[in-house]
Amino acid sequence: MSPARTLYLSNPSRAARPRPEPGRERFWWYFMRISGLVLIVLVLGHMFIMHVLVQLTGQEINFAFVSSRWGSPFWRIYDFLLLLLAMVHGVNGARIVIGDYVTHKPIRAGLIGLLMATAVIWLLAGMIVIITFNPATAPAVGPFS
């Protein structure tokens, strides 16, 4: 088999990186594909409800909408999984993109560190809001009005 054909078969999709050697990077290679499959259902479902069904049924996304939606544990768990998987899948993708374009080691490490730190804060904040949200105790009048 020619070297070109071997390389071609090692990366059949030609849209992503070849499957890495066993180890951490191989885990992430599988994670992107498996979480991607789950996210197709979760993200397209979420966007179909929020942008197509809401439009067709003449509803509006506001505080009352979210309160009634998160009144059901099903949608809280759905949104929790969506946040977790989308954030990890997206941040890992961004990490790989940074790794492809930023070759200067300290700058690359700094950017990826910043990305990870931001992602952890955002993920925790989002999870806390989804878990603890309670319309009964939310302030009726906002701090800015």
Partner 1 sequence: MSIGQKWRLSAREMFGYQISWAQLAWMGHRLSGIGVIVFLFAHVVETATVALGPDVYDFTQGFYHNLPARLGEILLMSAVVYHSLNGLRVIVMDFWPRTTIYYRPLTYGVIAATVLAMIPIGLIMITPYAPWGPA
Residues that bind partner 1 (CB under 8 A): 8-9, 12-16, 19, 33, 36-37, 39-40, 43-44, 47, 51-52, 55-56, 61-64, 66, 83, 86-87, 90-91, 93-94, 97, 118, 122, 125-126, 129, 132-133, 138-145
Q: Rounded to the nearest whole angstrom, what is the least distance from the CB of residue 84 to partner 1 in the complex?
A: 11
- For residue 32, the Cα-to-chain-centroid distance in whole angstroms is 11
The conformation of residue 15, written as its DSSP 8-state character, comes to S
Instruction: Give the chain's length.
Output: 145
Q: Residue 106: what residue type?
A: P
Asked if 20 and 70 touch (Cβ cutoff 8 Å), the reply is no
Q: Rounded to the nearest whole angstrom, what is the least distance from the CB of residue 20 to partner 1 in the complex?
A: 12
Q: Give whichever of 10 and 103 is closer to partner 1, judged by the CB atom.
A: 10
- Helix 24-47 to helix 73-101 angle (10° resolution) is 130
Q: Rounded to the nearest whole angstrom, what is the least distance from the CB of residue 28 to partner 1 in the complex?
A: 14
